[in-house]
Structure 1
Amino acid sequence: MAANALASSWGVPAIVAACLCWAIDNNLTRKISASDAVQIAAVKGLVAGAVNLAIALATGQQLPAAWPAVGAALVGFCGYGLSLVLFVLALRHLGTARTGAYFLAAPFVGAALSSLLLRETPAGSFWLASALMAAGIWLHLTEHHEHKHTHEPLEHSHEHVHDEHHRHEHADDWNGHAPHAHSHRHEPITHAHAHTPDIHHRHPH
């Protein structure tokens, strides 16, 4: 009984700590989101996989049989690998808050699918929370954030095409209309247009 009470008392703080660590991880990943998203996902996946495997072995867990391991690998590739690549790309183009808000819709999608496939009946609070989440996403998708802002000098490398923010020249006079990646410099510019907090629009308000 005492052990159960101790485990229960640690449950909520552990969840809060995990959410805090996830938030810190998201903000740190955003800072490097201009880099190759596949490489970022691969490094994070290898580190996380190695740590989790070490914890499992240290606590006496046994390795799964071949077919369950293959199934878990496929689920991990889609649910964690591919998902993380898309998450990093979203951080690059949308910023941390908006990416996190969209990503948090996933549990509601999963619960809705379980109600359809498993014939489970969610409580009324689920539908209320779903409506609030949908309203928040709708506000994000329909917002029009436009104002005069200044781009400070910046040098970085990421995949891009030549547009209003990428006006540098190439040695062979190529127009840069096809996606390409290289180190390039942004000169100071002041203008106004609709934008999201992507890697080029992290100015204060």
Structure 2
Amino acid sequence: MKKTAIIAGLLSGFLFGVATPFSKLLLAHLNSFQLAGLLYLGAGIAMIPSIMKTGGQIKLLFSKSNLVRTSGIILFGGLLGPLLLLVGLRAANAASVSIWLNMELVATAVLGVLFFKDSLDKFTWIGVILTVFAGVATSFGEGVSGLTSALLITAACFCWGIDNHLTALTDGATPQAVTFVKGLMAGIVNLAIGVSISASSIAFNIVAAALIVGGFSYGFSIVLYVISAQNIGATRGQILFATAPLWGVILSYIFFQDSFHWTHVISLLLLILAVVVINMISHKHQHTHEMLEHIHYHKHNDEHHDHSHDDESINPAKGHSHMHTHQSLTHTHPHYPDLHHRHKHE
């Protein structure tokens, strides 16, 4: 699953990276609330085909065990995060904002260690530090207005850091179900606020464009990130997601002819190095897994997934998602803090 998780994380970063320059264009016609609402509605709408097949899993997100997590995902990831981002985006060029977004990685790492049992080895910490340096280097080229934007975007990143861990730990529902609920509820609230404070109507072509960007850059991107985070941990998944600025910067230069600055080159090189470093894992010790029943995307290629299927339509050789049971197991192997390895260390 490591290969699948890495590919999913990189694709997630690509899809989200292209959202920054397109959002900059759309902000010329929409206020921040309107755009945030339409982007998340687009994400929710994109999940409808999948939800029609597994709609019952939405109820699990509001079960007693998941209600607090789901509420936090909607509040921090769907409402506060995108709003702070779009306000910050108005005050700085899109290329720099794309790189500042990697502060989400730092927030995810810090919150993970302090609150979410996310064990980070030396290589992961090196990746986090490299990302911090990338953000600092970028801020030197922006001046005071850039600092204001950086603070707003940093706040957004901490909101998304909370969202990342809550999403990675949400059990019993598919990534599509999580994305649908967050997109629909956050989209409705943000759009309602945006329409109420706007004196003009929104053109149909602008609505359509925002929904399309939201479907791809938020909807499918979130699903891919969840798959990655559930299999290699929220922080490592976030480092892969950190490739988003590579695409955001490139498109920002193409669309806006943003001024080229040497700090962008340094930042991008540091980000590339960070992605390479975190693929070297050194975390290994004996640990015990308690009996567990849950649902997530998996393959039958490790000691944790040796169960059989009553449904003959499921191909165990391919990646799939369904409810399954893990028996108690004690063993030693290199591992990430995925859904199966959120244990405490002596």
TM-score tier after normalising by the smaller chain length: 0.7 to 0.9
1:59 corresponds to: 197
The structure with the largest helix share of the pair is 2
Q: Normalising by structure 2, what TM-score?
A: 0.50
What is the alpha-carbon distance in structure 2 between the residues aligned to residue 104 and residue 42 of structure 1?
23
What is the alpha-carbon distance in structure 2 between the residues aligned to residue 180 and residue 110 of structure 1?
31
Unpaired stretches in structure 1, ≥5 consecutive residues: 1-6
1:13-162 aligned at under 5 Å gives the runs 14-32=152-170, 35-115=173-253, 120-162=258-300
Q: CA 1:147–1:86 in structure 2 vs 1: closer, same or farther (change >3 Å)? A: same
Q: Tell me, what secondary structure is at the counterpart of 1:193? A: strand
Match 1:167 to one of 290, 296, 306 = 306
The structure with the largest strand share of the pair is 1
What RMSD over aligned residues (CA atoms) do the two structures have, in Å?
3.2
Offset at residue 14 of structure 1 (A):
4.1
Q: Is residue 162–residue 176 contact of structure 1 (8 Å, CA) maintained in 2?
A: no
What is the alpha-carbon distance in structure 2 between the residues aligned to residue 71 and residue 172 of structure 1?
40
Q: Is residue 153–residue 185 contact of structure 1 (8 Å, CA) maintained in 2?
A: yes
Q: Normalising by structure 1, what TM-score?
A: 0.79
Q: CA 1:53–1:144 in structure 2 vs 1: closer, same or farther (change >3 Å)? A: same
Q: Is residue 314–residue 320 contact of structure 2 (8 Å, CA) maintained in 1?
A: no
Give, as a single letter, the amino acid of the residue that structure 2 aligns with 1:195: H
Q: Is residue 174–residue 321 contact of structure 2 (8 Å, CA) maintained in 1?
A: no
What is the alpha-carbon distance in structure 2 between the residues aligned to residue 174 and residue 187 of structure 1?
24
Offset at residue 60 of structure 1 (A):
2.0
Corresponding residue pairs, total: 199
Unpaired stretches in structure 2, ≥5 consecutive residues: 1-144
Q: Tell me, what secondary structure is at the counterpart of 1:143? A: coil
Give, as a single letter, the amino acid of the residue that structure 1 aligns with 2:161: A
Match 2:323 to one of 176, 183, 188 = 183
Q: Is residue 162–residue 177 contact of structure 1 (8 Å, CA) maintained in 2?
A: yes
Determine what percentage of the aligned residue pairs are the same residue. 38
What is the alpha-carbon distance in structure 2 between the residues aligned to residue 173 and residue 65 of structure 1?
49
Alignment pair present for 1:192 and 2:300: no
1:4-15 aligned at under 5 Å gives the runs 14-15=152-153
Instruction: Flag the structure with larger Rg.
Output: 1
Q: Tell me, what secondary structure is at the counterpart of 2:285? A: strand
Offset at residue 118 of structure 1 (A):
5.9
Q: CA 1:11–1:182 in structure 2 vs 1: closer, same or farther (change >3 Å)? A: closer
Question: More relative contact order in 1 or in 2 (CA 8 Å, sep 6+)?
Answer: 2
